[in-house]
Amino acid sequence: MLKTLSALGRILTLALLVSTNTVLATSSFAPRSSRAGPIGAVVLKTRAGPIGAVVLKTSAGRTAALNGSSNSSKTSLKQTQVWVKSGDSLWTLARAHGMSIAQLKKINRLEDEKILIGQKLKVLVRVPRAGVSQAHSSKIVSQKTRSAHARAVAKLGPRAKRLLKIRYTQYLAQQRRTLQVRYAKQARYEKYLALRAKQRRVLQVRYAKQAKFEKYLVLRSKQRHILQVRYALQAKYEKYLALRSSQRRILQAQYAEQAKYERYLALKVQQRRILQARYAQQAKFEKYQAQFQAMRAIALRQQVASRNRLSGSSWVSSSSRAVVRKTSYSGSRLSWPVSNFRLTSNFGRRGIWIEGSNMHTGIDLAAAEGTPIYASSSGTVTQSGNGAFGVNVYVSAGNMDIIYGHMSRTAVNAGEYVNRGDLLGYMGCTGYCTGPHLHFEVRVNGQPRDPMGFMR
């Protein structure tokens, strides 16, 4: 049996050596069960061990040419794009895609080896040739190997043929599985590249949106700053307006006070002129009164002397400023109603208009408020209280009426009879008046007369 197998091995070896145009297997198509050895070795195994070997010795150049022709018939180069990541360089990118640095620089037109993160580069990847399917590739391999095996196996025996056919079928199935795995990996890789491209587009859209959003935030921040500045300026302007309004009100109040003060000064000047005129008039009156009193004193002394001679009665007269006491004299002469007074206004027309007239129907005797007022003559009280001259008292003595006006209060009632020198009331400033004084008026038969002509 062993001799038969050895003979079969020698026959197979000779047949393969004679067929120079036949290629049974190459390094890329070697079955997994073959042992390490020369290029293109096929090992047959039985239970007893190796039964023989067929070795096809070819040159390295021919083997490489066969491999290259087989690979180029199955795949083609396709240009795609990649983005530079952190840690990448031209060397790592060229190695990952089976290229040289020179090729990578050439297709990307790079002058040096400097690249930036996020930079887009062109690379070449090997993809299956268009129109070549898995079944077609397997069919091509099967046709090439089947023709070579058919010529070699034709010279072997039936048993060797069966063994070689089994090994050859296993080899084809394994090659088919290998190609299927490769195509599945290639499909997954292409899906991965498509996913990466889609993710890259999504990231680019996100980065663009992020950039727009950041620009929007910067713009919002600038607008917020501008609004804050405007609000601050508006607040300052409103404070300024409030201050101006407050200052305006203060100035208006000051101007009003100044106007009041100027009117007061003008009034004071006018009052001062009036007082000066009154003081000058009072001085003239006092001078006239002194002269009048001196003349009256002489006349009184003469009258007293004559009366003493006639009636034997005596009466005492006071000085020019003293109060005249009660006497038995019953003539038309009147006594002064107050003592220590000051004449402030005479009988007749004056510069003051009251109720459409400047006629003063009496005389004004000024004194301190509360000064007692006495009756100038005897008579009946016809009116006591508020009247034409404030609080006043009217005393009637025959055809003569005497009016005491501007009192603060009265001491008599209407209907009472008073004698010369009786208390009538007290000095005041009621009705139309500018200060405490007594309006002393004498009416004869209802007509005002100058009281100075009736005074003693």
- Tell me the pLDDT of the chain (456 aa) as tens digits: 444 445 555 554 444 444 433 333 333 333 333 333 333 333 333 333 333 333 333 333 333 333 444 444 556 778 888 889 888 888 888 888 888 888 888 889 888 888 888 888 988 887 766 554 555 555 555 565 566 656 665 666 677 777 777 888 888 889 899 999 999 999 999 999 999 999 999 999 999 999 999 999 999 999 999 999 999 999 999 999 999 999 999 999 999 999 988 888 888 888 888 888 888 887 787 777 677 767 767 777 776 676 666 654 333 333 333 333 333 334 458 889 998 888 888 888 877 777 667 788 899 999 999 999 999 999 999 999 988 889 999 999 889 999 999 999 999 999 999 999 899 999 999 988 888 999 999 999 989 999 988 886
**pTM given for the model:** 0.32
Cβ–Cβ < 8 Å for 428, 409: yes
Measure the CA–CA gap between 93 and 106, rounded to whole angstroms: 14
pLDDT value of position 23: 36
Structure token digits, residue 166: 């089994």
Cα–Cα dist 365/336, whole Å: 10
Distance CA 367, CA 338 (A): 8
End-to-end CA distance of the chain: 201
Which pLDDT score, from 0 to 100, does residue 359 have?
83
Structure confidence at residue 91 (pLDDT): 86
What residue ranges do the domains of the chain occupy? Answer: 334-453
pLDDT attached to residue 345: 86
| CA 66 – CA 39 distance, rounded (Å) | 13
114 token code pair: 């400097």
Tokens representing residue 108 in the block: 């990307």
CATH superfamily of 334-453: Glucose Permease (Domain IIA) (2.70.70.10)
Q: Which two tokens stand for residue 11?
A: 């026959």
